[in-house]
Amino acid sequence: MQTILCIASFFKGNEFIRECRRQGARVVLLTREKVAKEEWARDALDDLVAIPGRSSVQAYLMAASEIARRHQISRVVALEEYDIVTAAHIREHLCVPGMGATTARYFQDKLAMRVKARDLGIPQPDFVPLVNHQSINEFINQVAPPWMLKPRVGASSMGMKKFSLAGDVWAAAMELDARNETHERSDFHLLEQFVAGAVYHVDSLIQGGKVQFSNVSRYGTPPFDIVHGGGVTTSQTVPHGSSFRRRLLALNRKVLRGFGIERGVTHAEFIEPLDSNRGVMFLEVAARVGGAYTAETIEAGTGINMWREWARIELATNERPYILPEPRKDYSGIALSLARQEWPTTRDYTDPEIVFRIPKRDHVGLIVRSNKHERVTQLLEDYAERFSRDFTAVMPAEERAEQHL
């Protein structure tokens, strides 16, 4: 019997845990004491170990080693963005098969993935590490503003800032260097050319180094604009069989093959610049299931649950190889927003295409499915307008997830 060690700094991944149990594996969860009280799938867990206080990589390593004394660990899986490299360190320390720390950094550290993509000749925005002053000055003088200041580790546009003046960049760098936490200082950031355009996400399942399944979606408004300006997030399937979809899939395969992932799940983002001469560009990729109900939206259109299939991939063997279920080719989409109400009701939204209502405090959201792309577009445009009137609240953008640790 295989034993899966799941690492999670935040509450997510219950469906992965349950599927591992359905497949006959033991499951051990290593998390933070602060989130140990969440509604984890305890009926599917053989053990739950919580790290007290503010956890570090070393604390996770020590806890994983203690778990390994009681369980023979076959796989180590990071259920969350912030744990991708931590899980890799645990694999290397315990000599468990899977992605090592160097490869893992390509799927978490935005500077590492930029450098790797440059080496592979993958089109992307110009960038510079926020380290060497001469290089930063040259970048500012050669690359037209605006520029994006990005933390090297983070999700959902958290901590990103847009600048148009060189003085503001240097002031931001000085402010970062005055912080007490080493990992919040300027050398843990990069400066990047801001590219305006439509943003897409490609969510994939990989087995044996090959992409087994991918779903291509387009955001209605770029995530950075939503995080920093508020509004309604929408995302919907890109038309099946379109030439643009094929281009995105080809670029996604090039990224994943070049970055060296052999097994698991990925969430990659790309941008189609307003300047049509530049072509589609790579933005970022993570070895995780997409957040903000991406998995539920993909399942609505394809019947493929990313969490469950990821678990089956992790547990596949030569005797029991992974086989992808036949995906449907419907269209799906989501409208999601912060809400002024604690538990908003969507009872007045009665379209038959609605397949899921988001059950989250201070949020409102609907997932729809149709066999027509135009119908999904129409519904999402309608919901975005109605949500803005009926529910939407705007909160200041959070700078870093560490405030929740």
Cross-strand partners of 29: 6, 48
Residue 151 pLDDT exceeds 90:
yes
* One domain, residues 275 and 182: no
C-beta separation of 194 from 213 below 8 A: no
Domain harbouring 24, CATH code: 3.40.50.20
Q: What is the mean pLDDT of residues 310-337?
A: 96
Residue 103 pLDDT exceeds 50:
yes
* One domain, residues 309 and 296: yes
Instruction: Establish whether the linkage from the previous residue to 146 is cis, with ω within 30° of 0.
Output: yes
Domain harbouring 367, CATH code: 3.30.470.20
Q: Considering only residues 394 and 309, tell me which one the structure prediction assigns the higher pLDDT.
A: 309
Inside any domain, residue 114: no
Q: What is the mean pLDDT of residues 255-263?
A: 98
* One domain, residues 204 and 349: yes
* One domain, residues 169 and 145: yes
* One domain, residues 368 and 274: yes
pLDDT of residue 185: 95
Cα separation of 354 and 386, whole Å? 15
The reported pTM is: 0.95
**pLDDT-derived band at 230, boundaries 50, 70, 90:** confident
**pLDDT-derived band at 53, boundaries 50, 70, 90:** confident
* One domain, residues 332 and 280: yes
Inside any domain, residue 242: yes
- Work out how many domains the chain is built from and give that number: 3
Both tokens of 54, joined, read 């503010």
Residue 198 pLDDT exceeds 80:
yes
Domain harbouring 165, CATH code: 3.30.1490
Cα separation of 157 and 135, whole Å? 24
pLDDT of residue 156: 63
pLDDT of residue 208: 95
pLDDT of residue 394: 80
Both tokens of 195, joined, read 């590219």
Cα separation of 367 and 380, whole Å? 9
Inside any domain, residue 121: no
**pLDDT-derived band at 54, boundaries 50, 70, 90:** confident
* One domain, residues 296 and 273: yes
Nearest C-alpha neighbor of 339 from the set 297, 383, 380, 381: 383
pLDDT of residue 55: 77
C-beta separation of 12 from 80 below 8 A: yes
* One domain, residues 386 and 339: yes
Nearest C-alpha neighbor of 334 from the set 290, 385, 369: 369
**pLDDT-derived band at 404, boundaries 50, 70, 90:** very low
* One domain, residues 144 and 244: no
Inside any domain, residue 147: yes
- pLDDT one-digit tens code per residue, 120-136: 999 999 999 999 999 99
Q: What is the mean pLDDT of residues 245-262?
A: 98
Inside any domain, residue 156: yes
* One domain, residues 189 and 138: yes
Concatenated DSSP letters of 133-199: HHHHHHHHHHSPSPEEEEESS-STTTT-EEESSHHHHHHHHHHHHTSSSGGGSGGGEEEEE---EEE
Cα separation of 64 and 225, whole Å? 39
Residue 181's domain comprises 126-193
pLDDT of residue 403: 47
Q: What is the mean pLDDT of residues 209-229?
A: 92
Residue 401 pLDDT exceeds 70:
no
> Where is the domain boundary, 167, 193, 219?
193
Residue 402 pLDDT exceeds 70:
no
Nearest C-alpha neighbor of 192 from the set 150, 151, 223: 150
Cα separation of 371 and 351, whole Å? 14
Q: Considering only residues 353 and 228, tell me which one the structure prediction assigns the higher pLDDT.
A: 353
C-beta separation of 242 from 189 below 8 A: no
- SS3 state of residue 266: strand
Q: What is the mean pLDDT of residues 73-83?
A: 96
Cα separation of 26 and 43, whole Å? 11
Q: Could you give the percent of the chain with pLDDT greater than 70?
A: 97
* One domain, residues 214 and 130: no
Cα separation of 274 and 48, whole Å? 48
Both tokens of 363, joined, read 């949020």
Cα separation of 92 and 88, whole Å? 6
Question: CB neighbours (10 Å) of residue 41?
Answer: 17
Q: Could you give the percent of the chain with pLDDT greater than 90?
A: 89
Question: CB neighbours (10 Å) of residue 197?
Answer: 16
Inside any domain, residue 155: yes
> Where is the domain boundary, 193, 209, 233?
193
Inside any domain, residue 399: no
Q: What is the mean pLDDT of residues 69-79?
A: 96
E strands within 9-116? 26-32, 47-51, 75-78
Average predicted confidence (pLDDT) for the chain: 94
C-beta separation of 236 from 248 below 8 A: no
* CA atoms lying within 13 Å on the CB side of residue 230: 12
Inside any domain, residue 63: yes
Q: What is the mean pLDDT of residues 345-370?
A: 97
> Where is the domain boundary, 174, 193, 212?
193
For 302-331, give one letter per residue: b (16+ CB within 10 A) or e: bebbbbbbbbbbbbbeeeeebeeeeeeebb
* One domain, residues 167 and 227: no
